[in-house]
Chain A
Amino acid sequence: MSFMTKPKVAHPRLRRNNLGLTRRDYEGTMSTLCAGCGHDSITAALIEACFELSLPPHRIAKMSGIGCSSKTPAYFVGAAHGFNSVHGRMPSIATGANAANRDLYYIGISGDGDSLSIGMGQFSHVIRRNLHMLYVIENNGVYGLTKGQFSASADVGSKAKKGEVNLQSPIDPVLTALALGCTFVARSFSGDKEQLVPLIKAAMKHRGFALLDILSPCVTFNDHEDSTKSYAYTRQFYHPAIHTDFVEPTQNIAATYKQGEAFPVTLHDGSNILLRKVAKDYDPTDRRLAFDFVEENLKSGEYLTGLLYIDESKPDFHDMAQTDHRPLNEIPYAELNPGADAMKKILARYR
């Protein structure tokens, strides 16, 4: 970590977004993660994406559990809401918050330990609920905060810093999410912002649960030669299957691509994602194909990246629960609280 705070001074020609804010206005407090941590790059990508989407900072809610990854929300959009919850329990908190205020942009930041070990149950069920949120897993294959033990996503054969070899098979968040019916599944790499930023933007605009598994090397405990999640290894073996461009509703989508070279997926708010296939025969709307393709690649030691699966048709949490279209804080008190008489009637039904 560094002890020097990033000074407030900025480039005088820094671009401004629709709100008149610069990228610097989306920063948070000084990161206390190790210098060179992949998580800090993800933070920077989140800042970039929120800036480019011109999101009002007070419309963002950042949720996390415990771990190196879960410190991240402190480091971006300082003016947003935030909740640092119990280990592995962030999905419950996010569900509660989303139930009360469906209009905020929810960004959950978790790690491989927080999601795939202690929080595996919560993780599975929030996917089932198709809760409208971006769920980021900062995946580095080790428990960094407790000095580098293997996590549930460590690959078979990967060596720890001290030399032990991992023999247990990993839980792959992408395959898990596909199996559970997740409606937006993507994988990326902290070291590739050109891929990562549009993916974050698309995920934020997807209505429903968007999983973004981001390979994020642990520079202190998992960046050595025999690691399968080091910067060098990831760079060598990650393959973009599909390139994703996010297109704002105001932009003319037809002008941005030639027919045949890409296909658009329209999101609920009218924005589009433009998908350019890199791997032949890949179809990110075909779940079975996606599952096979990802698994094939994993077997041969390759990380397939990009937007791997998307389904805009499934109902989200609020659709299924048939909730009011307004957040609770916008419903007048009289309507929100039916009163003692109504309560009596409800109770009478159970007598």
Chain B
Amino acid sequence: MDKTDTAKPDFFHKVVDCQWACPAHTDVPEYIRLIAQGRFADAYMVNRESNVFPAILGRVCDRPCEPACRRGRVEDKPVAICRLKRVAADLKGDIDDRLPAIPKAKNGKRVALVGAGCASLTVANDLMPLGYDITIFEALGVPGGLMRSNIPAFRLPEAVLSEEIGRIIDMGVDLRLGARVNSMKELLGQGFDAVFVGSGAPKGKELNLPGRHESDQIFIGIDWLESVAFEHTDSIGENVVIIGAGNTAMDCCRSALRLGGKNVTVAARKPRHLFKASDWELEDAEEEKVNILVNHAPEEFVIENGKLTGVKFAIVEWSEDETGRLTSKALDHVVVPADSVILAVGQENAFPWVERDIGLEFNKWEEPVVDPITFESTRKGVFFGGDAAFGPKNIIWAVAHGHQAAISLHKYCQDQPLTTRLPDTLNLGSRKMGLHEWSYANDYNPAQRLKMNHVDLTNRFKEMNIEVELGFSPEQAAEEVARCLNCDIQTVFTDDLCIECDACLDICPTDCLTITRNSDEEDLRTRLRVPAENLTQPLFVSGPLKQTARVMVKDEDMCVHCGLCAERCPTAAWDMQKSCIKIPYAVDEETAWQKRQKKSA
């Protein structure tokens, strides 16, 4: 293998599994360390820079970071990253004086944002400090988008939502509530310099089976959740069947329990391991005694005397054909009694309000054609982000889109090319403080993942808005943070200092180091002290070592960043260095541009 080029920021970035997996690349190890030091406001601000809504995301994020967490490979459970984020938010105190100043004098550019969801709010958050005049058009009477209308209050309290959204609106955004945009053409005629569409994926999918339209007790999941959120719906039948097994289904079944549902069943066509719902959301639903049926394919809504009485399901068996496609075979049929049915079989974005003759192209699925880097549509000056751009994902993706779209909007308004963007950069700094002293907590703490405490089952159903999760106390948080492996404290190797004494190999607790002769990757992976079978994790390969021309190979998979290799190295060929990944935002583009102007002047 060629010598690993660690100068490319991606190599060390990938080692920080959580940060790499996060669409917004939140600096997780850094904020966990700040929490460990009791610096909750600092931890909150590290979060806010990348993910904008730490208190919201600390409760309802889809947390791609946790399945990626190294701790989950070394042991079985990852660090409770998401809930630690909530700790930072819960205990931060007042942070308003740390927010960027909003210039009094505007820069003369007006940007319209469609929808007041997380994507648009991120754009506003990034552009307001640069002096833009931002107008948000929101169809509903409150801002927040799906975060407000689709996530039940027992998971995400209203106050939390309002605080973080308010912080952005209070930057001076012109928020127009109850102002549904009915025509893109008309919006484009209002003289905005650029338009961003962050209107989400607000259309729930239908399930047109016999009987679908013969009852008023069959609801579309996201519409029903919205009507619950705005208190238009306050009851449901005793027997409730939810069709679908995604996270919307989980929110629906748990909401149904709080509105009078007694026997609540979630019915899925697929076996459990293929559910779209996150494991933890399934666990929470099961804790509340929701009945979960697998391999149940709905066939008919049973209507007796004009009244919905049940859902007829085929019980199916799945088999995989040669191409890997799953096909089902009906084995039996069953009728599950139901007074109400909620359909949670997916959602999609819909743009009936965007005219098709304005140079804005749609693909065959009626989705807008959007550039994945600039988020620009085929019409100059119109950008898309969040679920509106590439279909339903989740909040953290929408935030990531918002940051990138904000860069594009800024560049577009300033007549700069959209595609010349600042690259990600990475800084390294040694953590060596002196003899046997490292400026990070490198003791491996064998503690198990803390279980989140919940409001007990007898009390939680009394009101819709009793938050089920209690959050970690500072003492609990102090235990959980110690489980973080500090993956951003990188093992940095200098080839020509190595005397091949093997000290690092011998002391490494997880056997991730090997000195061996070089060869191709496939072969090398089999010849390590523990074969490197996890192909998603890269190998680090040094240049030829001085004495034998062999190479130092490190399998990044299981490194616990304890620093013993550096501690044991007699020549400091290994060093522990903190990596800091800088993802540029709109403000960085602006600063860099001004610097360039100064230079050329």
Q: Do A and B bind each other?
A: yes
Question: Which residues of A pack against B, CB within 8 Å?
Answer: 2-4, 6-15, 23-24, 34-38, 40-41, 43-44, 190-191, 193, 217, 219, 223, 231-232, 235-236
Q: State in angstroms the CA–CA spacing of A8 and B447 once bound together.
A: 12
What residues of A have a CB within 8 angstroms of the CB of B507 in the complex? 2, 6, 40
Nearest chain B CB to A23's CB is how many angstroms away?
8
Residue of B nearest to A15 (CB): B530
Q: Is the CB of B547 closer than 8 A to any CB of chain A? A: yes
CB neighbours (8 Å) of B444 from chain A are 7-9
A30 (CB) vs chain B CBs: closest residue? B507
B-to-A contact residues, CB < 8 Å? 73-75, 436, 442-444, 446, 499-503, 505-507, 509-512, 530-531, 533, 546-548, 558, 560, 562-564, 567-571
A199 to B506, CA, bound (A): 18
In the complex formed, the residue of A with least CB distance to B570 is A36
Say yes or no: A41 contacts B436, CB within 8 Å.
Answer: no
List the count of A-B residue pairs having beta carbons below 8 Å apart: 102
Q: Given the complex of chains A and B, what is the CA–CA distance between A35 and B502 in angstroms? A: 10
From the candidates A6, A12, A190, name the one contacting B502 in the complex (CB within 8 A): A190
Find A231's partner among B547, B560, B569 (CB 8 Å cutoff). Answer: B547
A-B contact pairs, 13 of them (CB 8 A): A7-B509, A9-B74, A9-B560, A12-B74, A14-B511, A36-B569, A36-B570, A38-B501, A40-B568, A43-B506, A44-B505, A191-B501, A217-B501
Interface centre among A7, A41, A219, A223 (most CB of B within 10 A): A7
Task: Specify which chain B residues have a CB less than 8 angstroms from the CB of A36 in the assembled complex.
Answer: 499, 501, 503, 568-571
Chain A positions within 8 Å of B74 at CB level: 9, 12
User: In the bound complex, how far is the Cα of B571 from the Cα of A54, in angstroms?
Assistant: 35
Task: Choose one: B442, B548, B568, B570; the contact of A235 (CB below 8 Å).
Answer: B548
**A219 engages B570 (CB within 8 Å):** yes
Inter-chain CA distance A351–B96, complex, in Å, is 105
A10–B444 Cα distance when bound, in Å, is 11
Q: Looking at the complex, which one of A3, A43, A235 makes contact with B500 (CB distance below 8 Å)?
A: A235
A193→B530 CA distance, assembly (Å): 16
Residue of A nearest to B512 (CB): A11
In the complex, the answer to whether A2 meets B567 with C-beta atoms within 8 Å is: yes
**Cβ–Cβ contact B499 & A4, under 8 A:** no
Which partner residue on chain A sits nearest B500 by CB separation?
Answer: A191
A191 contacts which chain B residues (CB < 8 A)? 500-502
Q: Say yes or no: A44 contacts B509, CB within 8 Å.
A: no
Q: Quick one: which of A4, A43, A235 contacts B436, CB cutoff 8 A? A: A4
A7 to B447, CA, bound (A): 13
Shortest CB–CB separation between residue B523 and chain A, in angstroms?
16
Report Cα–Cα, A7/B512, bound state, in Å: 14
Nearest chain B CB to A48 CB, angstrom units? 10
Inside 8 A of B509's CB, which chain A residues have their CB? 6-10, 24
B558 and A41 within 8 A (CB):
no
Query: Across the interface, which residues of B come within 8 angstroms of A3, CB to CB?
Result: 436
Q: Which B residues touch A9, using CB under 8 A?
A: 74-75, 444, 446, 509-510, 560
How far, in angstroms, from A9 to B561 measured CA to CA in the complex? Answer: 12
Alpha-carbon distance between A14 and B558 when the two chains are bound, in angstroms = 11
CA distance A15 to B531 in the complex (A): 10
State whether A7 touches B562 (Cβ < 8 A). yes
- A14 near B530 (CB under 8 angstroms)? yes
Q: How far is the CA of A41 from the CA of B507 in the complex (A)?
A: 9
A4 B563 Cβ-Cβ under 8 A: yes
| Complex-state Cα separation, A43 to B506, whole angstroms | 9
In the complex the two chains form, is B506's CB within 8 Å of A40's CB?
yes
Cβ of A7: which chain B residues have Cβ within 8 Å of it? Answer: 443-444, 446, 509, 560, 562
Contacts A7-B560, A12-B558; A235 near B505 (Cβ below 8 A):
no
A6, A15, A232: which contacts B499 (Cβ < 8 A)?
A232
Given contacts A40-B506, A193-B502, contact A13 B547 (CB under 8 A): no
Determine if B503 and A40 form an interchain contact, defined as CB atoms under 8 angstroms apart.
Answer: yes
Q: Which residue of A lies closest to B506 (CB)?
A: A44
A13, A35, A231: the one within 8 Å of B568 (CB): A35
In the bound assembly, the distance between CA atoms of A12 and B533 in angstroms comes to 12
Q: In the assembled complex, how far is the CB of residue A6 from the closest CB belonging to chain B, in whole angstroms?
A: 5
Interface centre among B446, B506, B548 (most CB of A within 10 A): B506
A141 to B444, CA, bound (A): 37
Closest to B555 in A: A11
- Tell me how far the C-beta of B438 lies from the nearest C-beta in chain A, rounded to whole angstroms: 9
Instruction: Give Cα distance in the complex from A14 to B506, angstroms.
Output: 14
Q: How far is the CB of A257 from chain B (nearest CB, A)?
A: 20
Q: Are A10 and B510 in contact, with the CB atoms below 8 A?
A: yes
Shortest distance in angstroms between A26's beta carbon and chain B's nearest beta carbon? 12
Would you give the shortest CB distance from A141 to chain B, in whole angstroms? 16
Partner of A41, one of B73, B501, B548, B567: B501
CA distance A33 to B75 in the complex (A): 31
Kindly list chain B residues whose C-beta atoms are within 8 Å of the C-beta of A219: 499, 501, 570
User: Separation in Å of the A245 CB from the closest CB of chain B?
Assistant: 17
On chain A, the residues within 8 Å of B503 by CB distance are: 35-37, 40-41
Q: How far is the CA of A255 from the CA of B168 in the complex (A)?
A: 74
Q: How far is the CA of A23 from the CA of B512 in the complex (A)?
A: 14
CA distance A231 to B547 in the complex (A): 8
CB atoms of B502 and A41 under 8 A apart: yes
B547 touches A235 (CB 8 A): yes
Measured CB to CB, the closest approach of chain B to A180, in angstroms, equals: 31
B502: which A residues are within 8 A, CB to CB? 40-41, 44, 190-191, 193
List of A residues within 8 angstroms of B511 by Cβ: 10-11, 14, 23
In the complex, the answer to whether B564 meets A13 with C-beta atoms within 8 Å is: no
Q: Is the CB of A2 within 8 A of B436?
A: yes
For B546, give the chain A residue with the smallest CB separation: A232
A220–B442 Cα distance when bound, in Å, is 26
B547 touches A4 (CB 8 A): no
Tell me the complex Cα distance, A8–B509, Å: 7
User: Within the assembled complex, what's the spacing in Å between the Cα atoms of A325 and B389?
Assistant: 83
Closest to A220 in B: B570
The residue on A at minimum CB distance from B501 is A36
Q: In the assembled complex, which residues on chain A have CB atoms less than 8 Å from the CB atom of B571?
A: 36
Most buried by A among B510, B512, B571: B510
Q: Which residues of B contact A6 (CB under 8 A)?
A: 507, 509, 564
Residues of B within 8 A of A232 (CB): 499, 546-547
Instruction: Using CB atoms, name the residue of chain A closest to B511.
Output: A11
Chain B residues with CB under 8 Å of A2's CB are 436, 507, 564, 567-568
Q: How far is the CA of A2 from the CA of B73 in the complex (A)?
A: 27
Contact partners of B560 in chain A: CB under 8 A: 7, 9
CB distance from A301 to the nearest CB of B (A): 17
Q: Report how far A96 CA is from B564 CA in the complex, Å.
A: 39
Which residues of chain A are near B569, meaning CB under 8 Å? 35-36
Q: In whole angstroms, what is the CA distance A6 to B444 when docked?
A: 9
On chain B, the residues within 8 Å of A35 by CB distance are 503, 567-570
4 more A-B residue pairs beyond the given contacts A6-B507, A9-B444, A37-B503, with a C-beta to C-beta distance below 8 A: A10-B511, A36-B503, A40-B568, A219-B501
